[in-house]
Amino acid sequence: MKQLKTTSSVNTYPAIAIGQIILDDSNYITLWGNLQQGDNWTRCDFVTTYEVLNTMLRYVQDRNDAVQMTIVKKLEDMQQIPEIIDLEAELGSAVLFDNMNFLLTRPGFRDQGTWIEYTDGECYYIEQVTPAIPVKNTQYEKKIGQCMDMLYMSYELYLGYLELDFDEDGARQKADLVDDMKYTLAYYAWKERTI
């Protein structure tokens, strides 16, 4: 008897598009769709569990309800096994699952003690799905850093005026920290840099 498993080659991809879902009486779901590889999309089949599909749906909140209702409706009216849910026909297009990382492995089988991949990249098992980490915008980080520097210098100036025996209100006015919010932000900017 042949044993099935996934291979040890694990790859991470940023997006998949699903056109059809195939349900049967097992604990696994087959998904027909496309895999994003760089700037290209490749026709591909996927196998995964209901748990992973549920995680995928949670991460695409804007499309979650329509896909879930389509699946629930088909499960309630399921008359044959396997049953196909054609998302392209039901929703007008394939459902894009993006802004997440897909951990994919290739299925294989054991032949005389050796695991052999047999899908040639046309089928993957979705092991896990995680949210994509947003890319930081260095332009905004630089601007925020400049603001923090200005607030820090204002608080340093305020402390200098206090050392010169200015009263609290006078020191805040000279350091341009009359506004309570700006004063508080300047204090935290100073505190962050002096710790």
Q: Which residue among 77, 110, 131 closes a domain?
A: 131
Joined tokens for residue 140: 């905004």
Of the three residues 87, 102, 131, the one that is the final residue of a domain is 131
What mean pLDDT is predicted for residues 165-190? Answer: 94
* pLDDT at residue 49 greater than cutoff 60: yes
What pLDDT does 2 receive?
Answer: 44
Q: In the prediction, which pLDDT does 120 show? A: 66
Domain boundaries, position 185: 138-194
Q: Are residues 157 and 117 in the same domain?
A: no
Same domain, 98 and 151: no
A 10 A CB-CB count for 81 gives 10
Question: Higher-confidence residue: 30 or 72?
Answer: 30
Between residues 8 and 133, the one the model is more confident about: 133
User: How far is Cα of residue 67 from the mean position of the Cα atoms in its chain?
Assistant: 18
Q: Residue 162 pLDDT > 90, yes or no?
A: yes
Region 91-120 average pLDDT: 75
Q: State the pLDDT at residue 108.
A: 66
Q: What global pTM score does this model have?
A: 0.59
Q: Is there a single domain that holds both residue 111 and residue 190?
A: no
Asked if 18 and 76 sit in the same domain, the reply is yes
Q: Is the pLDDT of residue 121 over 70?
A: no
Residue 20: band (very low, low, confident or very high) from pLDDT cuts 50, 70, 90: very high
- Do 125 and 153 share a structural domain? no
Q: How far apart are CA 173 and CA 159, in angstroms?
A: 12
Instruction: State whether 40 and 116 are in the same domain.
Output: yes
Determine the average pLDDT of the residues in 81-85. Answer: 84
Averaged pLDDT of the chain:
83
* Co-location of 27 and 122 in the same domain: yes
Q: 105, 131, 157 — which closes off a domain?
A: 131
Overall domain count for the chain:
2
Contact 56, 84 (CB under 8 A): no
The crossing angle, in degrees rounded to 10, of helices 50-59 and 61-76 is 140
How far is it, in rounded angstroms, from Cα 177 to Cα 192?
A: 18
